[in-house]
Amino acid sequence: MKAIVYRDNGGPDVLRLVDRDLPVPGPGEVRVRVTVSGVNPTDWQARSGAGHPKHFPEVTPHLDGAGTIDAVGEGVEQSRAGQRVWLFMAAAGRPTGTAAEFTVVPAEQAVPLPDEAGFDVGAALGVPALTAHRALTVAEDGPRRLRPGALDGKVVLAAGGAGAVGHAVIQLARWAGATVISTVSSPEKARLATAAGAHHVVNYREGDPAAGIRRIVPDGVDIVAEVALGANIALDLAVLRPRGTIATYANDGGKPVELNVLQNMVLNTRLQFLVLYTAGPEARTAAAQDVAAAVRDGALPVGEEHGLPLTRFPLGRTADAHRAVESGTVGKVVVDIAS
């Protein structure tokens, strides 16, 4: 089979297209013929060695993807062979991610993909959707699981609604019944956030964004799903309601975070940092189940018309796919595996 590998950390040029033996699923595992592989910032960060120690002599990257189970290991129901699935955390603690024609994962990390959902949808779930679910389920006054109605009466602020996680936050929050506001940096990104389903969009580079949000929701925001905490903390606190939650999954731009302790004490702010690797198996399992339900309801479509443009590369140009993600390409970058 064809696979992308790297043996040393470094820039995109360390990625190589090679031939490898077909992997064999072990007990509790399934082998998946990958159709589309999703690329996330964490994939290039792991490749570069930024905060992700390399544990294997050779690594096939990418956590997310979608395809069809073609073989099962001992202890897995034979009926799963032939099942369309989406994958999450494929390369977490393992050397074999989805940037290959075939990959092997624990059976529970291959989630059934409904026939009406394309492989592009499946490849865009994983890290973005599970992260979004986590951000929406950590509030003191909020639900621990998502379903239609779970966020009725709640207001969610999706920072960076044109990004992959922000897009998933908008879609999952809408599906669960929240009023969704998104902050963006341009009219084009405003168009994408609106297409994703945001009820209100605020350009934070124009006028007074905090006043604009307060006009929409005078009582404040219940949950902020934050992508750039250092840059946005002042805005977040200006619009947060008492006992509200700021769930931060990144600090784009790298600006240091400065906290006004008294302000946060008065608000009873919950500041939740999150990353999937250490969220724990129970949280990841719950997220996968709820995201699967949202997919069955048709709540997580992708494509520019749904607010998430797709930028595609063939397997042999996976290095270019990494460059695209590193350079901040808007939307979702995917690698087409199957011809």
Each residue's pLDDT tens digit, 113-134? 999 999 999 999 999 999 999 9
Give the C-alpha separation, 8 to 22, whole Å: 23
pLDDT of residue 288: 98
pLDDT of residue 54: 83
Residue pointed to by tokens 């604009």: 212
Each residue's pLDDT tens digit, 228-250? 999 999 999 999 999 999 999 99
Domain 2-124+308-336 in CATH: superfamily? Medium-chain alcohol dehydrogenases, catalytic domain (3.90.180.10)
Q: What is the average pLDDT across 27-41? A: 98
Does domain 128-277 fall under CATH 3.40.50.720? My reply is yes
DSSP label at residue 55:
-
Give the C-alpha separation, 185 to 206, whole Å: 9
Residue type, 290: D
Phi, psi of 214 (to 5 degrees): -65, -30
Each residue's pLDDT tens digit, 95-116? 999 999 999 999 999 999 999 9
Residues 182 and 170 sit within 8 Å (Cβ to Cβ): yes
pLDDT bin (cut points 50, 70, 90) of residue 272 is: very high
- Residue spans of the domains in the chain: they are 2-124+308-336, 128-277
Task: Write out the E strands in 142-220.
Answer: 155-159, 179-184, 200-203
For the beta carbon of residue 16, count every other beta carbon within 10 angstroms. 13
Handedness of CA 309, 163, 90, 174 (dihedral sign): negative
pLDDT of residue 338: 78
Asked which of 10-19, 47-56, 119-128, 155-164 is least confident by mean pLDDT, the reply is: 47-56
295-307 burial, b for 16+ CB within 10 Å, e for fewer?
A: beeebbbbbeebb
Residue 254, by phi and psi: left (phi above 0), alpha (psi -120 to 50) or beta?
left
pLDDT bin (cut points 50, 70, 90) of residue 339 is: low
Note the pTM of the prediction, 2 decimals: 0.95
Cβ-based burial of 39 (10 A; exposed 0-12, middle 13-18, buried ≥19) = buried
pLDDT at 136 over 80: yes
Three-class secondary structure of residue 314 per DSSP: strand
Give the C-alpha separation, 205 to 186, whole Å: 8
Q: What is the average pLDDT across 305-325? A: 98
pLDDT at 28 over 90: yes
Average pLDDT, the chain: 96
